[in-house]
Structure 1
Amino acid sequence: MFDIAADVSRYKEFVPWCNDSAVIRQIPPNSFEVRLGVGFPPLSETYHSTVTLRKPGHVRSIAQDCYLFNHLVNEWNFRPGLADNPQTCTVEFAVSDNFPPNVHCTARNSWISRSCCRSPAFFSLVNSVITERLGRLLLIGINRPQQHNVIDRVTAHQLTHLMREQFEADPNILAGVLYGCGEDFCTGLDCEELADSKGTCLELYGLDENKDTGPMGPTRMMFSKPLIAAITGKAIGGGLELALACDLRVAETDSVLGLHPRKYSITSANCLCPLGLPMMDMGAQRLPVLIGLSRALDLVLTGRSLNGTEGYQFGLVNRVVKPGTAIGAAVDLANAMCNLPGQKALLLDRNATIQAAVSKTVDSEMISHYRTALRTLSSESLPG
Structure 2
Amino acid sequence: MAKEEPSKLVLIEKRGTTTIITINRPHKRNCVNGPTARALYQAFLDFDSDATAAVAVLTGAGGNFCAGADLAAVLNQDEANPMSAEWEDTLPGPIGPMGPSRMVLSKPVIAAISGFAVAGGLELALWCDIRIVDTTATLGVFCRLRGVPLIDGGTVRLPQVVGRGVAMDLMLTGRAVKAEEALKIKLAACYPSSYETVNSTPALEQALALASLLAEHPQVCMRNDRLSTHLANPIREAMLKEYELGLETLTSGEFVQAITKFFEATDEKKKKGEGKKSSAKL
- With normalisation by structure 2, the TM-score equals 0.80
Distance change (3 Å), C-alpha of 1:157 and 1:125: closer
Percent of aligned pairs with the same residue?
A: 35
Where does residue 207 of structure 2 map in the other structure? Answer: 330
Cα deviation code 1:197-254 (max 9, x no counterpart): 499x8x9623322352211001010011010000010000000000000000101123
Instruction: Name the amino acid aligned to 1:279.
Output: L
The residue that corresponds to 2:280 in the other structure is: none
Q: Which residue of 1 aligns with 2:274?
A: none
Task: Please tell me whether Structure 1 or Structure 2 has the larger radius of gyration of its CA atoms.
Answer: 1
Q: What code does the residue aligned with 2:154 have?
A: G
Cα deviation digits, residues 70-111 of structure 1 (max 9, x gap)? xxxxxxxxxxxxxxxxxx9xxxxxxxxxxxxxxxxxxxxxxx
2:105 equivalent in structure 1:
223
The structure with the greater share of residues assigned to strand is 1
- 1:258 counterpart (140, 146, 161): 140
Answering whether residue 54 of structure 2 is matched by residue 174 of structure 1, we say yes
The 1-side partners of 2:189 and 2:205 are apart by 15
8 Å contact 2:98–2:152 — kept in the other structure? yes
Q: What's the offset of the Cα at 1:354?
A: 2.6
Partner of 2:246: 373
| Cα offset, 1:306, TM superposition | 0.5
List aligned pairs for 1:1-384, cutoff 5 A: 126-165=7-46, 167-197=47-77, 205-210=83-88, 212-263=94-145, 275-319=146-190, 321-323=198-200, 325-340=202-217, 342-356=218-232, 358=233, 360=234, 362-379=235-252, 380-382=254-256
Q: Secondary structure at the match of 2:242?
A: helix
Map Cα deviations across residues 284-315 of structure 1 (whole Å, 9 max, x no partner): 11111111111111111111110111101111
Query: Structure 2 stretches of 5 or more lacking a match?
Result: 191-196, 261-282
- In structure 2, relative to structure 1, the CA distance for the partners of 1:204 and 1:131 (3 Å cut) is closer
| Equivalent residues of 2:116, 2:139 under 8 A apart | yes
Q: CA deviation at 1:126?
A: 4.6
Higher helix share: 2
1:324: Cα distance to partner?
Answer: 5.5
- CA drift of 1:323 comes to 4.3
TM-score, normalised on structure 1? 0.60
Secondary structure of 1:262 counterpart? helix
- Greater than 3 Å deviation, 4+ residue runs: 196-199, 260-263, 320-324
Aligned length: 244
Deviation string 1:13-33 (CA, Å, 9 cap, x unpaired) is xxxxxxxxxxxxxxxxxxxxx
Q: Which has the higher contact order (CA 8 A, sep 6+)?
A: 2
Identify if the C-alpha distance between structure 1 residues 213 and 204 changes in structure 2 by more than 3 Å, giving closer, same or farther: closer
RMSD between superposed Cα atoms in Å: 2.3
